[in-house]
Structure 1
Amino acid sequence: MKQAAIIGGTGYGALELIRLLQNHPYVNVTKLISRSEEGVEVQDRYPHIRAVFKETFSGLSKEELTDIDIVFIAAPAGVANSLLPQLDDGTKQFIDLSGDLRIDEPGVYEKWYGLDAPQETIQKEAVYGLTEWKKDSVRSGRIISNPGCFATAALLGLLPLLPDYAEENGIIIDGKTGVSGAGRKQSLMTHFSETNENVTAYKTGAHQHTPEIEQYLTEAGNNPVTTMFQTHLIPMTRGIMNTMYVNVKKKTDFQALYETYYADSSFVRIQPAGVMPVTKQVLGSNFCDIGLSFDERTGRLLIVSVIDNLGKGASGQAVQNMNVMNGWEETEALWSVPQYP
């Protein structure tokens, strides 16, 4: 059995990793690291895992990771940048769930995240872990940069159109997310009285997933891509829906295009023609469900892409990447029916 540690052990992403890995046939989570909770039994803080996960929160040191094979960094942006140079001994696998290693250009990262860029050597070694697109690179990688939640839904919804079908500068992405996407830290925006029966547009023109989406669409299309991307907070706990509008260069059978592109992808489900997905149908899962509709009047293709932000948008995709890195079936610990209702 491989031994895994999770850094940032009090967040939703870490708790979802514990839930998923509890039934993994080849991995045990033996370290849950939180400086603020060191020495506390995890089940005393999170009673939903009582009797199932019996570890105690650990402190953070290189010694704590001596017998660890796989390290998940489920902490805010900036943490991986500071920790990786200290903790990396060249043998462990690291999967970072933050945005620290997603952006190639240091200046772009610093502009959008407001933090110092990561060390160049670590950045160059990191593999972008959008598994359906980069599986060969993930398979040979040791440090994985897990994609952002909005970016995952956007890229999976748009990649089949590049380079042949999408106009590079006509892409609009309207994103909606539940409150768990903001993490556990309290804020006025995610306060129940502010969120309930309300829809809030936030980070207008400033969402940090914008350069990530544009960087990888540019790579896929071999031409610079600019998007109009706006996020909204809606009153639900989990889920992301990206509604995307694309001016097309030429028409084709888009339904067949997507079905062929994702024919071998375990976790991308293309809806029947004319059927749009809803967030509830991927709840608690690693699926990304995509629906399509071509508007003859405007010449635009509409794509609706839904994921669970803690599943395919974070911890589920991290486990999927871990599986691929280690030569296991990518569906290990992930192949289950979404929660319903």
Structure 2
Amino acid sequence: MLRAAIIGAAGYTGGELLRLLLNHPAIDTVEAVSSSHAGQSFCKAHPDLLAFAKQSFVSALSEGPHDVVFLCGGHGESRRLMDQHQLYHKNTLIIDLSQDFRLPDGEHDFVYGLPEAFGSMLPGKKRIANPGCFATAIQLAILPLAAQGWLSDEVHITGITGSTGAGQKLQDTLHFSWRHDNLSVYKPFAHQHLAEIQATLRTLQPEYEKTPLFIPMRGPFTRGILVSVHTLCKASADTLIRAYDAYYEDAPFVHRTTEEADLKSVVNTNNALLSVEKYGSHAHIVCCLDNLVKGASGQAVHNMNLALGLPETMGLGLKPSAF
């Protein structure tokens, strides 16, 4: 049985991790760190955790030892914590859910934790950088194309995300009265996840140097991401579909559908749903996932399972809220 800790456990991703780890068969104890909720019951920040009302947040990480520590603070906070190296034993698995270590910096030895691309590299690793939520959905949509060396033209992406993707910090664009029944574009062609996507593409298809053309959108819902991707592809429709099925044959959380992909099939699960079609000379791929689970906390647990030699689906058998 393992001892886990979450730093930043009162936020959206921290709360999602708390829910998963409290019910994970291999986890014995979970230390939930939150400076804003220290001393308060878990259900003060996460009312659905009423069954764990007797457990409380703590103000700081104890001396340990911990088997795994998840960093769920704001961007920049993980780097500050890691530089306080005395907090972490070299044998403690650290999984960072911020963007601080997704790109190599020459100082920290984090591995990029996208299981469907780099899962074979994760067993035994002690430092893992969790991918971004949009980055996860986009990469799952195009990994097989890059693996086959089929990317040649620009990749065009439109993606829409729920409000929880922006975190809990209050912003004008998160107010219910603004978000409800509304759509808007933000950070066109300049989203922060593009750099990690390009790094993965360079690994799988080094000669491909084009930058994906990504238009992110805010959606009038709380959870979920849907990305629509199209690019020129010389492969036939049958060859394209066979390539996707082969690539994800051993990926337990990625599923191709012959129907239209939709969010309700994946929200509250660690699954990603792909629709793969060929229209003339263009491949069109739709990917749907839950930004807080497959796009964040569920993927972090998946990475933990792989790194520690546990069954990779352990603790992630979640049912979608389809209605």
Normalising by structure 2, what TM-score?
Answer: 0.94
Question: In 2, Cα distance between the equivalents of 1:53 and 1:126?
Answer: 35
Of residues 328-337 and 313-322 in structure 1, the stretch that sits farther from structure 2 once superposed is 328-337
Corresponding residue for residue 209 of structure 1: 193
Corresponding residue for residue 146 of structure 2: 162
Question: In 1, Cα distance between the equivalents of 2:140 and 2:45?
Answer: 36
Residue 151, structure 1, aligned to residue 135, structure 2:
yes
| Kept in 1: contact 2:268–2:318 (CA 8 A) | no
Corresponding residue for residue 76 of structure 2: 78
Of residues 40-49 and 14-23 in structure 1, the stretch that sits farther from structure 2 once superposed is 40-49
Question: In 1, Cα distance between the equivalents of 2:171 and 2:120?
Answer: 40
Corresponding residue for residue 23 of structure 1: 23
Task: State the identity %.
Answer: 35
Corresponding residue for residue 237 of structure 1: 222
The correspondence of residues 41-80 of structure 1 with structure 2, limited to 5 A, is: 41-52=41-52, 54-61=54-61, 64-80=62-78
| Kept in 2: contact 1:165–1:249 (CA 8 A) | no
Q: CA deviation at 1:130?
A: 0.5
The 3 A distance-change label for structure 1 pair 163 and 2 is closer
Q: CA deviation at 1:310?
A: 0.5
The one-letter amino acid of 2:82's match is L
The one-letter amino acid of 1:228's match is L
| Kept in 2: contact 1:167–1:249 (CA 8 A) | no
Corresponding residue for residue 116 of structure 1: none
Q: CA deviation at 1:30?
A: 2.7
Question: In 2, Cα distance between the equivalents of 1:332 and 1:250?
Answer: 36
The correspondence of residues 86-97 of structure 1 with structure 2, limited to 5 A, is: 86=84, 87-97=87-97
Corresponding residue for residue 327 of structure 1: 309
Residue 194, structure 1, aligned to residue 178, structure 2:
yes
| Kept in 2: contact 1:269–1:287 (CA 8 A) | yes
Residues 262-306 of structure 1: per-residue CA shift (max 9 Å, x gap): 11110000112xx2210110010000110011111xx11000001
Question: In 1, Cα distance between the equivalents of 2:153 and 2:60?
Answer: 45
Which consecutive unaligned segments of at least 5 residues does structure 2 have? none
The one-letter amino acid of 1:33's match is V
| Kept in 2: contact 1:165–1:248 (CA 8 A) | no
Residue 291, structure 1, aligned to residue 259, structure 2:
no
Corresponding residue for residue 39 of structure 1: 39
Q: CA deviation at 1:169?
A: 4.1
Normalising by structure 1, what TM-score?
Answer: 0.90
Corresponding residue for residue 102 of structure 1: 102
The one-letter amino acid of 2:100's match is D
CA RMSD across the alignment: 1.5
Residues 76-113 of structure 1: per-residue CA shift (max 9 Å, x gap): 11011110121232121000001111123x5xxxxxxx
Residue 265, structure 1, aligned to residue 255, structure 2:
no
| Kept in 2: contact 1:195–1:234 (CA 8 A) | yes
Corresponding residue for residue 111 of structure 1: none
Q: CA deviation at 1:56?
A: 1.6
Q: Which residue of the other structure, out of 200, 207, 232, is the alignment partner of 1:247? A: 232
How many residue pairs are counted as aligned between the two chains? 319
Q: CA deviation at 1:205?
A: 2.6
| Kept in 2: contact 1:168–1:226 (CA 8 A) | no
Question: In 2, Cα distance between the equivalents of 1:259 and 1:73?
Answer: 34
1:176 aligns to what SS in structure 2?
Answer: strand
1:141 aligns to what SS in structure 2?
Answer: coil
The one-letter amino acid of 1:127's match is V
Question: In 1, Cα distance between the equivalents of 2:190 and 2:21?
Answer: 34
Question: In 2, Cα distance between the equivalents of 1:65 and 1:56?
Answer: 17
The 3 A distance-change label for structure 1 pair 33 and 228 is same
| Kept in 1: contact 2:185–2:216 (CA 8 A) | yes
2:51 aligns to what SS in structure 1?
Answer: coil
1:154 aligns to what SS in structure 2?
Answer: helix
Q: CA deviation at 1:54?
A: 3.1
Corresponding residue for residue 109 of structure 1: none
Question: In 2, Cα distance between the equivalents of 1:171 and 1:45?
Answer: 40
